[in-house]
Amino acid sequence: MRKTVDVSETTSRVLHLLGLLQSRRVWSGQELAERLGVTGRSVRRDVDRLRDLGYPVHASKGHGGGYQLGAGAALPPLLLDPEEAVAMAVCLRVAAGGSVAGVGESALRALSKLDQVMPARLRSQVSAVHDATVTLTSGGQDTPVEPDVLMTLARASRDHEHVTAVYVDVRGNRTERRLEPYQLVTTGRRWYLMAFDRDKQDWRSLRLDRMTDVRAVGTTFLPREAPDAATYVRRSISSSAYPYVARIRYQAPMDVIAGVFSAASVEIEADGEDACIVTTGASDPMRMVPWLAMPGVDFEVLEPDEVAAAVATVAERLARAVR
């Protein structure tokens, strides 16, 4: 029994030591001994224990020397006090719903890990701060996604857990969905879920801002052979969701055209060294014409006839305007 108490006390003291080293740049051995209530020899042993766990603790002698926690090749666990945990979670929530390329998915993963171990009282503080905060976005920013929806779907995708949700499609139809979530995909402006719809027995790409009452039901599924999530979502939102799917040949290299259009709105394939073919969709051919002209190079409508006719109509109007 005595051995268990000693191990517990040692573990607590090592964690306390780690917290001290993370809170200040340099500590002298004497300062640490006084804070921990132990001898200098015990401090040295505890420092060695931290090193064995992967924490790079540096020691230096002389005036201004002491113990310092350095940066290592890997990132070991951090100790956060309650205030720090709340601040970090609030920042991660903002970042997860933001439009900075590459940040949203990383922030979501970090937020999911932090939320899993955060006490309920701290989670309520995070929610209170987030609910009381309004983020100003540009005119192009879409409806924000609730962080709780993001975290629920992220955990369910990771753990292969069944999910139910209410979904409103582009026509306003409201349906209840039973889903096997596989992957979250962000375009920077929107979040999408690639999931297998259990009722339709097919894959679906769903916008998260159109999902409500999202719940993980507690049962799990065996993963199916799935398409590449990024490719599937890109194809779904660039063409398959629209009644008119156009194929356009541009007289410019693929990388030039790719610098004009968003990767989330078109599919681009090379057509030789100096040309490429773009596939994209729209609900109105006439509205598509100015957008197709954005690259400022010659192009040819391969299909469909409705888009070709719309381009011809706009061209005639522009010609009359010049005359």
The predicted structure's pLDDT at residue 76: 67
- Residues 107, 92: Cα–Cα separation, whole Å: 5
Helices (H), 118-246: 120-131, 147-159, 229-235
The predicted structure's pLDDT at residue 139: 41
Q: How far is CA 44 from the centre of its chain?
A: 41
> Distance of CA 52 to CAs 46, 49, 229, 262, Å?
10, 5, 40, 48
CB burial of residue 52 (10 Å; 0-12, 13-18, 19+): exposed
The predicted structure's pLDDT at residue 5: 42
Asked if 188 and 174 touch (Cβ cutoff 8 Å), the reply is no
At 120-169, the pLDDT tens digits run: 777 777 776 555 554 444 444 455 677 778 778 888 888 899 999 999 98
One of 2.40.160, 3.20.20, 2.70.98, 2.30.30 is the CATH number of 159-235, namely 2.30.30
Asked if 212 and 218 touch (Cβ cutoff 8 Å), the reply is no
The predicted structure's pLDDT at residue 34: 93
The predicted structure's pLDDT at residue 299: 95
One of 3.40.50, 3.30.70, 3.30.1560, 3.90.550 is the CATH number of 242-322, namely 3.30.70
The predicted structure's pLDDT at residue 94: 66
The predicted structure's pLDDT at residue 21: 86
CA nearest to 248, candidates 307, 315, 309, 317: 307
- Residues 281, 301: Cα–Cα separation, whole Å: 13
For 39-63, the three-class secondary structure string (H helix, E strand, C coil) is CHHHHHHHHHHHHHCCCCEEEECCC
Just give the CATH number of 2-69.
1.10.10.10
- What are 208's two structure tokens? 């998260």
Altogether, the residues listed in the chain come to a count of 323
Strand order in the sheet with 299-303: 267-270, 276-282, 244-250, 299-303
Domain ranges of the chain: 2-69, 82-131, 159-235, 242-322
> Distance of CA 33 to CAs 11, 46, 48, Å?
16, 11, 15
Is there a cis peptide before residue 227, judged by omega within 30 degrees of 0? no
CB burial of residue 126 (10 Å; 0-12, 13-18, 19+): buried
Ranges of the chain with pLDDT below 70: 1-7, 72-76, 94-105, 113, 116-117, 128-144, 188-189, 238-241, 263-264
Is it true that 2-69 and 242-322 share their CATH fold? no
- What are 105's two structure tokens? 């998915």
The predicted structure's pLDDT at residue 151: 76
